[in-house]
Structure 1
């Protein structure tokens, strides 16, 4: 490479790095809880909590409309009621981690799909797939572990954290477009879709969701030790073939089971207190 070009590329790289680093601010989305989740997160000013929740609400509404049109929305009334009752008990405990979650417009539905999956979008938009219920056959305690885990992703704003990283990266890449002629656009809706349904959560995010989910379940009166049996079932379901979608990037390894066991034991007194 010519020295002038090299220097120019290096300079632009420094500018891009500065843009990325300068585009995020340190935040603490949740209180630590008894489980002790205290990692400082970094969010871009370009991705506000309100904007992402609004985008999530729109996408969620669209997904529900599509499911309803296909006859795949809350098809089994008893099954839907079960999921909603468990979810509501967990939602009542969300304030332990962030009081403002009490004002979220939480919504819970069951979607008919063979996928073994569940998710919670920003702002508390929850969906559980019938494939998970049919194939895992979870107890109420195990189902609480699933839903609590997904709620934890929303409480910690993991989607916003990932979208922030995407947005500031695009912002940095736009600097390079002056040289390459290729621009980068910031599409909040597309970024949220990628984060929710395409890109994997990091191991850090998964561990935080595991731990917070276990505490939510315990405080709601569900046995936190069920998280261990749940993820064991998930891992066994995959066998030698591809794992369930919910585990596609994070199989239930021995280290995860060990961490869940430790976390469950830590919050066991909360469960025992809730059961009195």
Structure 2
């Protein structure tokens, strides 16, 4: 029995060492965006097996499928005026993305309004976006508040937060694959599944949310929207009652600390707003 335990432990150690070596050699440190006036300068770790192009391709395929399903259910852009309002705001924000990353100016940005009771909005890698009617109807955002949420979601895409989190997921899957090679248990890594999980299921990290908040208020300010609207927006989100938490808060947690940080960020970029708002 003792010999068996030693063999098992020895195999486990070899697996962990091999996994660590593989993961270390397969990651690179990148800076996805410039810091902007708000000062986003954190370096990010990306797995070499999760390329920006591959993730954008997967995101485009998933987005097309979602739009097809929504159209079949008559839930795609059912209110022309509402859709145009959202697109007008998004276009003003998109014109500012070059401050953070010039290459994003050539992304195939797209935004649609999906008919759903969920209070939600998101932006996939490469700029494929959606705003749900539940957010518009229940939050009743001003244009500046809507710019805050769209800018926040755009910031996630600009910073490639999904790719960073998929890299972490794939790294964990690679560790399982190494383990399966020893144990024969079998483990697979699925880029599409990992993207869906980090986009729509798993909660966002505090670091990613803070970066998206700060970058989002700068995008809004540069587009001529009052950055302080981000504060009132997230207060509305936190106060939405009825016994159920807004869907967006399951992946975008709200807190007093977050609102305090937004207040500071808004004050910092207010000169940009005042400059952009000049006639």
Q: Is residue 165 from structure 1 mapped to residue 168 from structure 2 by the alignment?
A: yes
TM-score for the superposition, normalised by structure 1: 0.97
Q: Return the offset for 1:238.
A: 4.1
Aligned residue for 1:43, secondary structure, equals strand
Deviation at 1:249, TM superposition (A): 4.4
How has the CA–CA distance of structure 1 residues 251 and 199 changed in structure 2, closer, same or farther, with 3 Å as cutoff?
A: closer
1:120 to 101, 120, 123: 123
Distance 2:49 2:14 in 1: 24
Q: Does 1:68 align with 2:71?
A: yes
User: 1: CA distance between counterparts of 2:80 and 2:267?
Assistant: 35
C-alpha separation between the residues in 2 aligned to 1:95 and 1:139? 25
Match in the other structure for 1:138: 141
Would the aligned equivalents of 1:243 and 1:251 in 2 still touch at CA under 8 Å? no
Aligned-partner Cα distance in 1 for 2:21–2:202: 25
Say if 2:162 is the partner of 1:151: no
- 2:55 match: 52
Contact 2:223 2:276 in 1 (8 A): yes
Residue 99 (structure 1) aligned with residue 90 (structure 2)? no
Cα distance, 1:242 vs. partner?
Answer: 3.5
Normalising by structure 2, we get a TM-score of 0.96
Aligned mates of 1:207, 1:11 — CA distance in 2: 38
Task: Kindly indicate whether the alpha-carbon contact (under 8 Å) linking 1:223 and 1:271 is maintained by their aligned counterparts in 2.
Answer: yes
How is 1:1-276 mapped onto 2 (pairs within 5 angstroms)? Answer: 2-238=5-241, 241-276=243-278
Secondary structure of 2:240 counterpart: helix
The alignment of Structure 1 onto Structure 2 pairs a total of residues equal to 275
In structure 1, distance between residues paired with 2:239 and 2:253? 10
Contact 1:19–1:168, Cα closer than 8 Å, also in 2: no
Question: CA shift at 1:251, angstroms?
Answer: 3.3
Q: Write the deviation string for residues 83-138 of structure 1: whole angstroms up to 9, x where unpaired.
A: 00000000000110000001000011000000000000010001000000000000
Are the equivalent residues in 1 in contact too, given 2:200–2:251 (CA < 8 A)?
no
- Structure 1 segments, 4+ long, off by >3 Å, are none
CA distance in 2, matches of 1:229, 1:90: 19
Q: State the 1:153 CA deviation.
A: 0.3
Give the secondary structure class of the aligned counterpart of 1:248.
helix
- C-alpha separation in 2, matches of 1:66 and 1:249: 23
Please identify, of 245-254 and 220-229, the stretch whose mean Cα deviation from structure 2 is larger. 245-254
* Alpha-carbon distance between aligned partners in 2 of 1:169 and 1:251, rounded to the nearest angstrom: 24
CA distance in 2, matches of 1:251, 1:168: 25
Deviation sequence 1:250-275 (CA, Å, 0-9, x none): 43211001100000000000000000
Contact 1:173/1:184, CA 8 A, preserved across alignment: yes
